[in-house]
Amino acid sequence: TCSSSSTPNFSVPSAEKVDGFPRRSMRRARQRRSHSSSQFRYQSSQVELTPLPLLKDAPVAELHDLFCKKLQQCCVLFDFLDCVADLKGKEIKRAALNELVESVATSRGVLIEPLYPEAIKMISVNIFRTLPPSENPEFDPEEDEPTLEASWPHLQLVYEFFLRFLESPDFQPSMAKRYVDQKFVLQLLELFDSEDPREREYLKTILHRVYGKLLGLRAYIRKQINNIFLRFIYETEHFNGVAELLEILGSIINGFALPLKAEHKQFLVRVLIPLHTAKSLSIFHAQLAYCVVQFMEKDATVTEYIIRGLLKYWPKTCTQKEVMFLGEIEEILDVIEPSQFIRVQEPLFKQIAACISSPHFQVAERALYFWNNEYILSLIEENCQVILPLVFATLYRVSKEHWNQTIVSLIYNVLKTFMEMNSKLFDDLTASYKVEKQKELKRDRERADLWRGLEEHQDRRMQMLTEAARNQRNLQERGERGDPPSPSSPQTSHSDQPELKPSGASSSSSGGGESAT
Amino acid sequence: CCCCNEVGCKPGADGDDSLYPIAVLIDELRNEDVQLRLNSIKKLSTIALALGVERTRTELLPFLTDTIYDEDEVLLALAEQLGNFTMLVGGPEYVHCLLPPLESLATVEETVVRDKAVESLRKISQEHSPVDLEVHFEPLVKRLASGDWFTSRTSACGLFSVCYPRVSSTVKAEIRQHFRTLCSDDTPMVRRAAASKLGEFAKVLELDYVKSDIISLFTALASDEQDSVRLLAVEACVSIATLLPQEDLESLVMPTLRQAAEDKSWRVRYMVADKFSETFVSLQISLCFNCIHSVLTIWLSDLCLLCPVSEQELVSDTNQHVKSALASVIMGLSTILGKDNTIEHLLPLFLAQLKDECPEVRLNIISNLDCVNEVIGIRQLSQSLLPAIVELAEDAKWRVRLAIIEYMPLLAGQLGVEFFDEKLNTLCMAWLIDHVYAIREAATCNLMKLVEKFGAEWAQNTIVPKVLGMANDPNYLHRMTTLFCINALSEACGQDITTKQMLPVVLKMSNDQVANVRFNVAKSLQKIGPVLDSNALQTEVKPVLEKLATDTDMDVKYFAQEAISDANVEQRLVQQAAFIFPADQTCCSLAGSQDRSEQRNTVVSITACNLMNSRIACTNPSQTVSFPNFFQPDLHAPVHSLFSAATQIEFDQTNE
């Protein structure tokens, strides 16, 4: 409804043209400036920060005390949406954070037990917050600029401190686990939804360290990641940190013990494979495919689940995703065991044939590239007897019909390869192509006939039903008038009315009528 | 009874058995091509009908239950079909046969399939007898509720409320226990599902259990570790509040609600804001039923205590989503709070929100002005209102401008004609030259509504001269706006203004150099024709239309001819109407209406209907539509479609 004129323009002087469309570029420009922040309840306005002495100047005896004071100072939060507010306080906090990072990273013996709760408290206060709603409701991670976290100047230092803290040689998991508990980890995972890629990058490294050092939390972390993925797949379809979480999982899978636990297999089949259905697959597909291949390399017996799963979720309309699926299939085939290949070749090559006949040339091309892969080619050759009949008709037809010349010439190469592999089978298939085609047409005709018959049958029955109902009514009316029911009426004897009533009709009335006869 | 059904249907079914062996049908359901498989699943009822009830039960359903692994698209179609299958398996006494396949469907991963399966299960639960419900349905719910994977437990949440009311008290106790368990489930998905069904489940529970069970579940869910669960609990609050007696609300619901209003997650606060007045309205209604004045006063004072805390908290919320949701409900509260409380507590918030930086917030406040007007009168606010309106009227987002235009007639009615002329009239005229078409169109429509409100005389003095002045604008879009305004205003302004003031301008514009303007002249003449008297039509309109019909531009020609033939048909129909007219009482009374254009439309409609009816009667006497039935629905339909239908018929008749 936003067009400037409802009718086509005739010869209108250009000066008269009115442009009613908002310019997209302008909208973009405005967005790029936007920062969002984390909805802190700023309590800082009341608190006035005063600079403390430098850590490096402190006598050893007072070092821990001063460290602790600095941690407490850093618990004060500032309003970054107002960039000129409380500049002095912001600077004091920034300097303190820098010192803390420096101290944890370089000096030994700083991390003593009483500092753990203070450090974790400081980290929690700063990083844990409910993420703001996206500024742009139709945010497209591929197209749009992300909204950046306004308080990043402080937040980055807090993350840096956390990371150094975890990586410090003095770090004692046994002490940390009292404070870095399940609740803490859950909040950490929620932050992966941040729109700011810088924040997700830190979170990724930090979570990886937590997973590595705090063994007691591992199962819990895996379970919560599962929940996040399931919510993403089946409920919200929106979570910014899928790629980062998958990257962590990639290395976790690498470390799984063999044989694979049921829990891990379930994770593959019920979480990783369904992740392929996501609309935003392109953002995390590389990481996802890596995880999938990791699983296969761990345990070849999961191959069939994977391939059948991918075939089940094969994209129907999105060609971009289809190309990604084909890429992943190739990665899988690259490492597949021949014995596993035999188990899946039939459904797999039916799908590949379908891709070859795709009118979208990139899909067809991606599928045909499989024949350039030597390992795949060797698998095809070993199983030529099975595979060639599956793809032959498609290749033959597409070679004659496809609009794109590159595809046609690729297909010729593939056909030539097949001819060289097994010329006898190739000739047989060429000879029977027409006959098969005829058979297929016949089957289609038979199907149409069958359904026509079924529908006529349905119509007949519906008609019988209406007639039966009418007779029933007549009968009842007659009964009310006191006339004897006519025994010669043919419909009354074999009324199958209750069965044939269209659904929704009340049964009790017809049942009553039935018993009356 | 069931036996005679089976026997009764044998003669018909026998012949079909040989025609359609189950194998062939099952082959169809198993076809390799998904599309074909989907097609056959969608016609599952046809297959079932061909098989008859017994074989549907013994052969088709087991097959469907076994082969549940398929494309989600197919499963979705299956889940939907099975909800309507009761009669095809032999009626309510066999309906439990449908449970096994639906149970499997309720456990699949894909949400849409699961939801559809639950929907179908809910549907067929009503067709179970109480005994079957306990023997077959309730065990299924229990199995789902204790399933391994979260999907089945999620599905179970939606089934408790349909079987609870119809089972024995022992089973009821079990159901309550299962629901409790799911509310504290390990996975957030299940807790979300349980929280979203909490309100529904509370409604079917006995009051004592609402107090003992539901409240504790509500409190627990409202303080869940995940905000997605907490906000669903808040949503349930509305239905829980309606169920409880007034005296219990303060102790049972309010603490949790207060806590939610201060939740650290904006999503939860948003939900509180969104449900605010809904909750309170329900409270007030139940109060009215109680009719206890003292309780009312206590409750009101409590509400005032609550308001300053939670509402101010929310108003100063940093999140615009929360604010804008709150803005849309805050005014609804004024009717509940009464005049004094509104002025004391709400007015300051209201004024603060009118100055909010987010246009949606301001818009939501303005859109709910009628509530305030009822309670304290809009005059109190007009001074604060005006800057807000002006700013919205010039907002950079056209949708915001559009929204404020839509409230103009309402505002004008409440603020009165003087205030309007003084402050708002300029705005309304400025919209006419907005660079977005949608705004110009809305502005035109707005003028029409204003004229309806303030009368033709007001129009003549204030807006008509300005509108007509735009006919000389150098921008052709503005010149066309004049025509659009005339189209919209002519009827409301009446014959006199239209003939004397508008018509000359329209006629003059027929010489415009831009073809778009010229063919819109033709359209306008067609449009205002019914308002003009026949003399003006013949002497002034017709010659101009005839000239336009020879225009060099083909579109101008087309619309001019349209207008000419339209006028002709109308004339003829009016003549004919004299013969056919006294057909129906309703029509007569409508035709006798004082309003001239309504009268004319009625005549034309009736004539057209008559023509159509007589035509139907000629070709197929059995299908004659009885006059009033045929006529009534078309009464408000555009006369135009009737015109064209009538012309067509007339044409046919002439040919015959």
The CATH number of residue B489's host domain is 1.25.10.10
Residues forming a β-bridge with A226? none
DSSP structure string for B40-76: HHHTHHHHHHHHHHHHIIIIIHHHHHHT--S-HHHHH
Residues B519 and B638 in one domain: no
Averaged pLDDT of chain B: 73
pLDDT of residue A319: 92
CB–CB of B477 and A4 under 8 A?
Answer: yes
pLDDT of residue A231: 92
CB–CB of A511 and B91 under 8 A?
Answer: yes
CA A176, CA A216: separation in Å to the nearest integer?
A: 11
**Alpha carbon A70 to chain centroid distance?**
42
Query: What is the tens place of the pLDDT at every residue in A298-350?
Result: 999 999 999 999 999 999 889 999 999 999 999 999 999 999 999 999 999 99
Residues B559 and B610 in one domain: no
CB–CB of B515 and A10 under 8 A?
Answer: yes
Residue B232 near residue B192 (C-beta atoms within 8 A): yes
CA A52, CA A73: separation in Å to the nearest integer?
A: 9
Full domain range(s) for residue B498: 469-564
pLDDT of residue A378: 94
CA A64, CA A60: separation in Å to the nearest integer?
A: 8
Residues B250 and B388 in one domain: yes
What secondary structure letter does DSSP report for A36?
A: E
- Dmax of chain A from CA atoms? 117
CA atoms within 13 A on the CB side of A83: 7
pLDDT of residue A237: 83
Listed in sequence order, the residues at least 6 apart from A386 whose beta carbon sits closer than 8 Å to its beta carbon are: A345, A346, A349
pLDDT at B654 over 50: no
- Dmax of chain B from CA atoms? 88
B516 CB within 8 Å of a chain A CB = yes
pLDDT of residue B619: 37
Percent of chain B with pLDDT over 90: 14
Residues B254 and B334 in one domain: yes
CB–CB of A16 and B12 under 8 A?
Answer: no
pLDDT at A49 over 50: yes
Range in A208-222, A277-291, B280-294 the model is least confident about: B280-294
CA B436, CA A4: separation in Å to the nearest integer?
A: 6
Residues B582 and B560 in one domain: no
Report, in this order, helix, strand and coil percent for chain B, each rounded to 5.
85, 0, 15
**Which of residues 347 through 366 in chain A touch B, CB cutoff 8 A?**
350
Chain B residues within 8 A of A501 when measuring between CB atoms: 87
Confidence class of residue B327 from pLDDT cuts 50, 70 and 90?
A: low
**CA-CA-CA-CA torsion sign (A207, A144, A127, B360):** negative
Chain B residues within 8 A of A461 when measuring between CB atoms: 12, 49
Residues B262 and B316 in one domain: yes
Percent of chain A with pLDDT over 90: 46
Better pLDDT: A464 or B327: A464
Q: Which of B3, B152, B187, B322 to mutate to test the interface with A (most CBs of A within 10 A)?
A: B187
Chain B residues within 8 A of A183 when measuring between CB atoms: 225
DSSP structure string for B381-402: GHHHHHHHHHHHHT-SSHHHHH
Q: Which of A9, A18, A499 sits opposite B435 (nearest CB)?
A: A18
pLDDT of residue B243: 83
By CB atoms closer than 10 A (0-12, 13-18, 19+), residue A449 is exposed
CB–CB of B49 and A6 under 8 A?
Answer: no
The mean pLDDT of A151-172, rounded to a whole number, is 92
Tokens of B94: 């066999």
Q: Kindly report the pTM of this predicted structure.
A: 0.64
Cα–Cα distances in angstroms (integers) from residue B437 to residues A5, A22, A108, A135, B334, in the given order: 6, 12, 70, 27, 37
pLDDT at A223 over 60: yes
B91 CB within 8 Å of a chain A CB = yes
Range in A431-435, B13-17, B83-87, B607-611 the model is least confident about: B13-17
Residue owning tokens 């529904």: B200
Distance from CA of A227 to the nearest CA of B (A): 7
Range in A91-100, B57-66, B562-571 the model is least confident about: B562-571
Confidence class of residue A475 from pLDDT cuts 50, 70 and 90?
A: confident
Distance from CA of B70 to the nearest CA of A (A): 8
C-beta contacts of A223-229 below 8 A and 24+ residues apart? A224/A185, A224/A186, A224/A189, A225/A189, A225/A249, A226/A267, A226/A271, A227/B187, A227/B188, A227/B189, A228/A189, A228/A192, A229/A271, A229/A275
**Which of residues 294 through 323 in chain A touch B, CB cutoff 8 A?**
312
Residues B558 and B598 in one domain: no
CA B627, CA B606: separation in Å to the nearest integer?
A: 9
pLDDT of residue A77: 86
In a domain, B187, yes or no: no
B258 CB within 8 Å of a chain A CB = no
Q: Which of B4, B88, B436 sits opposite A514 (nearest CB)?
A: B4
A2 CB within 8 Å of a chain B CB = yes
In a domain, B406, yes or no: no
Query: What is the tens place of the pLDDT at every residue in B442-471?
Result: 989 988 888 888 888 888 888 888 888 888
The mean pLDDT of A46-54, rounded to a whole number, is 75
Report the chain A residue with the minimal C-alpha distance to residue B519.
A7
CA atoms within 13 A on the CB side of B159: 34
In a domain, B380, yes or no: yes
CA atoms within 13 A on the CB side of B400: 17
pLDDT of residue B637: 38
Chain B residues within 8 A of A132 when measuring between CB atoms: 266, 319
Query: What is the tens place of the pLDDT at every residue in B505-561?
Result: 888 888 888 888 888 998 888 888 877 877 777 788 888 888 888 888 888 888 888
Residues B551 and B582 in one domain: no
Better pLDDT: A136 or A237: A237
Instruction: Return the number of other C-beta atoms located less than 10 Å from residue B552's C-beta.
Output: 8
pLDDT of residue A1: 36
Highest mean pLDDT among A15-19, A69-73, B379-383: A69-73
In a domain, B27, yes or no: no
CB–CB of B49 and A500 under 8 A?
Answer: yes
3-state secondary structure of B132: helix
3-state secondary structure of B161: helix
pLDDT at B632 over 80: no
CB–CB of B28 and A447 under 8 A?
Answer: yes
Chain A residues within 8 A of B437 when measuring between CB atoms: 1-6, 20
pLDDT of residue A473: 75
pLDDT at B296 over 60: no
Which of B392, B412, B447 is where one domain is finished? Answer: B392
pLDDT at B182 over 80: yes
Beta strands in B544-656 (DSSP E): none
Confidence class of residue B277 from pLDDT cuts 50, 70 and 90?
A: low
CB–CB of B53 and A12 under 8 A?
Answer: no
In a domain, B548, yes or no: yes
Residues B549 and B619 in one domain: no
Residue B573 near residue B646 (C-beta atoms within 8 A): yes
In a domain, B485, yes or no: yes
Report the chain A residue with the minimal C-alpha distance to residue B268.
A130
Query: What is the tens place of the pLDDT at every residue in B463-518?
Result: 888 888 888 888 888 888 889 998 888 888 888 888 888 888 888 888 888 888 88
CB–CB of A4 and B435 under 8 A?
Answer: yes
CB–CB of B516 and A10 under 8 A?
Answer: yes
CB–CB of B437 and A461 under 8 A?
Answer: no
Distance from CA of A476 to the nearest CA of B (A): 19
pLDDT of residue A124: 93
pLDDT at B93 over 70: yes
Residues B646 and B540 in one domain: no
CA A408, CA A414: separation in Å to the nearest integer?
A: 10
Cα–Cα distances in angstroms (integers) from residue B643 to residues A155, A469, B118, B652, in the given order: 71, 42, 49, 14
**Which of residues 451 through 480 in chain A touch B, CB cutoff 8 A?**
451, 453-455, 457-458, 461, 464
B441 CB within 8 Å of a chain A CB = yes
Which of B370, B392, B414 is where one domain is finished? Answer: B392
Q: How many CB pairs under 8 A join A and B?
A: 145
CB–CB of B476 and A16 under 8 A?
Answer: yes
Confidence class of residue A481 from pLDDT cuts 50, 70 and 90?
A: low
pLDDT of residue B590: 40
CB–CB of B12 and A494 under 8 A?
Answer: yes
Query: What is the tens place of the pLDDT at every residue in B189-233?
Result: 999 999 999 989 998 988 888 888 899 999 999 889 888 899 898
The mean pLDDT of B603-628, rounded to a whole number, is 42
Residue A74 near residue A158 (C-beta atoms within 8 A): yes
Range in A121-130, B168-177, B590-599 the model is least confident about: B590-599
pLDDT of residue A40: 41
The mean pLDDT of A133-148, rounded to a whole number, is 72
CB–CB of B266 and A270 under 8 A?
Answer: no
**Which of residues 114 through 173 in chain A touch B, CB cutoff 8 A?**
129-130, 132-133
Residues B269 and B385 in one domain: yes
User: Domains in chain B: how many in total?
Assistant: 3
CB–CB of A501 and B32 under 8 A?
Answer: no
pLDDT of residue B380: 65
Which of B392, B409, B426 is where one domain is finished? Answer: B392
Chain A residues within 8 A of B318 when measuring between CB atoms: 39
In a domain, B234, yes or no: no
The mean pLDDT of A414-442, rounded to a whole number, is 89
pLDDT of residue B278: 57
Query: What is the tens place of the pLDDT at every residue in B380-415?
Result: 666 667 777 787 788 777 877 888 888 888 778 777
Better pLDDT: A157 or A56: A157
Q: Which of A226, A308, A454 to mutate to test the interface with B (most CBs of B within 10 A)?
A: A454
Range in A43-52, A234-243, B37-46, B444-453 the model is least confident about: A43-52
Residues B516 and B647 in one domain: no
In a domain, B268, yes or no: yes
pLDDT of residue B338: 65
Chain B residues within 8 A of A39 when measuring between CB atoms: 266, 318-319
Distance from CA of A108 to the nearest CA of B (A): 37
Better pLDDT: A268 or B568: A268
CA atoms within 13 A on the CB side of A422: 16
Task: At A237, give phi and psi (nearest 5°).
Answer: 55, 20
A174 CB within 8 Å of a chain B CB = no
Q: Which of B227, B264, B477 sits opposite A5 (nearest CB)?
A: B477
Chain B residues within 8 A of A499 when measuring between CB atoms: 5, 9, 52-53, 87-88, 90-91
Q: Which of A4, A312, A457 sits opposite B50 (nearest CB)?
A: A457
